Amino acid sequence: MEVRGMPLHTSRLAIDNGTPVRRRPWPVWPQPADGAFDALARVLRSGRWTISGPYRGVESAERRFARRFAEYHHIAHCVPASSGTASLMLALEACDVGAGDEVILPALTWVASASTVVGVNAVPVFADIDPDTLCLDSDAVEAAITPATKAIVVVHLYAAVADLSRLRKVADRHGIALIEDCAQAHGAEFDGRKVGTFGAVGTFSMQQSKVLTSGEGGAAITADPVLARRMEHLRADGRCYPDKVPLPGGMELVETGELMGSNRCMSEFHAAVLGEQLGELDRLNGQRRRNAELLDSLLVGLGYRPQSSAPGTTSRTYYTYAAELPDTQLPGADIVKVTDALTAELGFPVTPAYSPLNANPLYNPASRNRFALGPQHEKLIDPTRFVLPVSDRLTRRLVTFHHAALLGDESDVRDIAAAFAKVLQHRATLAS
């Protein structure tokens, strides 16, 4: 048997002591840009390791990165932060989301999307997903809107862009803030524009696994100067940048008394690394995209169903590659057995999709006393109150893997496809 000229492996599955498809190592992530080491050394010698340190007569790495990231998105403002979670919290509070407000978000996403909403004393409302893109379904959003709805958080999940045209229309029709969570979509485009520029605020994570990373870090972008100023205060204990450059040795944050904040600032080390990594983003995104498109064609030929992006997407990025198992050949497969088998064949982690938030063990507000704000609030934030049939069905049928595996060449892609083909050959042993 062959798949487009690629020999299939007929030995036992590696998980059953057979010979694996792949023994060679895979690309490692993160990959530091050429200038990252020198950038870190400059910060070490600068006498300023954070924006709350004294001004030394030169522009901070944080301000340089913020300007470059805003320019990359063709938008006016960028506020760096300590994490993607912090960035989303800044966005929510800048949009005046708070106690008792409802925030609609997708049922299938990383847990921080929901825990951050609870963290500002608001109520997460889970809406189901589109079965093709795995992103927020606009009809489900429309059905979930109530007089208490204050914002919609759309997550561009894995390797897809959500349907921003339809979601933007829903938000505008109801006068609700649209916030884009782009933690997994740095550089993706919809209708020729970068994601993160369609909502009131776009938020990003730069955690180690992300396609743009400094280990930890985040950023929020906006075209609105009022929201930008609010986010500056919120992330720096109520302080913001001054109108004039201070004298060397002085503070570059001023105490305005406008808005109480918390410390969610990005360090100079993280900002320096991001400034260098940003120059590599488009090249690496292009490499992943080309390999993913080849893999799509190979897996479709086997009956798998790769995740698609919404109509109107003009450029995809691949944080996670996701594909649905063939219904005809693996109708009753145990998803964990399948992912364990693929992992053994390939030598890198292949995992099921995130668990839906109504059944995700990482999302459990009742486990923390800070959210015990009374019986009515506790009932509203109980995730088990939501019924999410599309998310529940698909998360038992999806396999995913990290984008590092897409940073190789065509032979690497064909190894991945060969492992997926081999699993199909041994499907009888993987039935639940």
Sign of CA dihedral 417, 423, 425, 427: negative
Annotation marks residue 337 as catalytic: no
Instruction: Single out the catalytic residue among 150, 169, 194, 210.
Output: 210
Radius of gyration of the chain (CA): 23
How many residues are listed for the chain in this entry? 432
CA atoms of 390 and 135, how far apart (whole Å): 11
Q: Residue 237 phi/psi, 5° resolution?
A: 55, 35
- Report d(CA 258, CA 23) in Å as an integer: 59
3-state secondary structure the chain: CEECCEECCCCCCHHHCCCCCCCCCCCCCCCCCCCHHHHHHHHHHHCCCECCCCCCCCCCHHHHHHHHHHHHCCCCEEEEECCHHHHHHHHHHHCCCCCCCEEEEECCCCCHHHHHHHHCCCEEEEECECCCCCCECHHHHHHHCCCCEEEEEEECCCCCCCCHHHHHHHHHHHCCEEEEECCCCCCCEECCEECCCCCCEEEEECECCCCCCCECCEEEEECCHHHHHHHHHHHECCEECCCCCCCCCCCCCEECCCCCCCECCCEHHHHHHHHHHHHHHHHHHHHHHHHHHHHHHHHHHHCCEECCCCCCEEECCCCEEEEECCCCCCCCECHHHHHHHHHHHHCCCEEECCCCHHHCCCCCHHHCHHHCCCHHHHHHCCHHHCCCHHHHHHCCCEEEEEHHHHCCCHHHHHHHHHHHHHHHHCHHHHEC
Residues annotated as catalytic (active site), given as ranges: 210
